[in-house]
Structure 1
């Protein structure tokens, strides 16, 4: 296949996490990360709007054939109070990786053990 003629995807449409307890995990994503509810099918599918895409929590039956979680990366303005909100909501901050001119990533584990990252762009010089 000639990759030079293959059209690239337009955008990230949706990311979902396979959740053992979507309702409980919903509390974490809403309180720790401030995700705004967009759609909810009881405790089977809980979907949030994030920018131009959607992020969802899916029960095991909805997620099939997927059987385990994914890593989601959310772009944020900064990390202020992130560690406090994450810990207060039952998560764990795993560390921050400084990527120099590319920015920085704060890695965390949600209450079900899924890895999530917050990405902060490098601030532009103000001179």
Structure 2
């Protein structure tokens, strides 16, 4: 067996439909496929799954999305019900902005150094 690539990452969400509103408005993720509130797939390789669709005993994941800037993201995150937790400068590697979505999942935004 050979792993070819990462297919996707999903978060187990108690209320996927409500959390979808956060990811669409705060991060601008574009919907790729939706099976009601059971599975919501975005073009960025990330999905939301209800507990029944998830692998047994699944608990959270940390998603990292690459972005160009943080300023507008901070405003959109808080306006959509999330919380900005911290920003970390990693010098020549770039920077990360850590946030919490409305269900408490941790997400990071990565910005490459100029």
> For the superposition of Structure 1 and Structure 2, which TM-score range results when normalised by the shorter chain?
over 0.9
Match of 2:19 in 1: 25
Equivalent position SS for 2:71: coil
Q: Residue 80 of structure 1: CA displacement?
A: 2.2
In the alignment, what sits opposite 2:86?
A: 95
CA RMSD of aligned residues (A): 1.3
Contact 1:15/1:72, CA 8 A, preserved across alignment: yes
Q: Write the mapping of 1:30-109 to structure 2, written as runs, cut at 5 A.
A: 30-50=24-44, 54-109=45-100
Provide the secondary structure at the position in 2 that maps to 1:24.
helix
- Counterpart Cα distance in 2 of 1:36 and 1:18: 19
The separation in 2 between residues aligned to 1:26 and 1:112, in whole angstroms, is: 11
Q: Which runs of 5 or more structure 1 residues have no equivalent in the other structure?
A: 1-5
Structure 2, unpaired ranges of 5+: none
Contact 1:28 1:110 in 2 (8 A): yes
TM-score, with normalisation over the residues of structure 1?
0.85
**Which of the pair has more CA radius of gyration?**
1
